Structure 1
């Protein structure tokens, strides 16, 4: 299904939660599948500008772009955004966020906002932030109900199992749990409620700095999913269910999902 571009002008306040929150948008130039992705033009604005503007509609204390490339930095400054230069050797957006958190001390919570989702809804950012009204929350992310076989059996879409407290138990590229008594795979989505992972993260600053010191874990390497490293080391990931779909631009072909 194609999606029309629509600028959302309504602000989505997350309310006074008593926590000082920093929104970080990691953006790198040298993407393997889509080089220069943050600078691609989408109806007159770069992707990074669209992400930044959506993030600013949420009531965060500060929003910054974290990049290792001067070209991205220049574009962000040109549209009036804030940018922090980071090390070129980071292996993940989480690592890049940790460097920024150290450079900008004083924030209780960091929200890692994906730089390849130009139409992210501010309400989703606010939903992640709302998890931290509970002082015991270490990490938070979003999940969405799966209702179709195409998503359930797509290995590019991580699935997540949650417990009774909506904490993540496990993430996998395969459908989990396995439905032993389902006769046909077409019956799976009607027999059990599956969830997919929406890739936005929140962390307390302390937790963010801790998890970036962890070595890659066996589960992470097996599934190629970074969040398994955190679970394998005993961290709890709180989830909240969103009904809002996201549009991630991973390849040039993904741009065809958008009608200009």
Structure 2
């Protein structure tokens, strides 16, 4: 916008506020045409992000902390100011409009070690994820975001917070099963944690003792290790939950999963993965 001021003097004096140029009759008539051209060109030639973090709005108060609402206030995400309560009705109206018409949008981006990371937001607030009639619409937004990243060539998309809710979409499994040919990797915090843990286990390990074995994280670790032909001693009192996980493993790998109910069973095991508090 302001760049036109340097090519055509006498217009577009303001940096970010066209309103004052309009009031002063110094608004360049080419401004909107140039803005549209730059926007379209950026979409064609813009850099594709390597990683997308798919979040959602938490509540009305947190919605006011995004940089494009109050930029200076956005740097203080946990502070409360006296001017906020009068703006709550406006935030509520924005929530209603987002619910009715908005699509997933870009919130922020940054470069880390030469890789472009972007944060996208599903236009839904936290409480809406617990409304039964809203689940289908939320899943539709998440699915569209995943398919969009796949078309763009994004390498990884991470489902944040309630976007990975087990009751909503089984931690993203719903979309992976529905679209088996996805090129983009759909992950969330638990899968990333599992990847870090598994990376720490050396290739020569043949037996692992796993606590918290039937949790999301424990399940992912157990299923991966049994495919590597590593014997996994799964500490759990629930035979039913153990058998459910065992059935998920390939038939020829199920024998590598063993249920144990006491820590004593792992006294000779050298590798422990502690996913649950150990009491004396």
Q: Give the TM-score taking structure 2 as reference length.
A: 0.23
Normalized per residue, the structure richer in helix is: 2
Highest RCO, 1 vs 2 (Cα 8 Å, sep ≥ 6): 1
Normalized per residue, the structure richer in strand is: 1
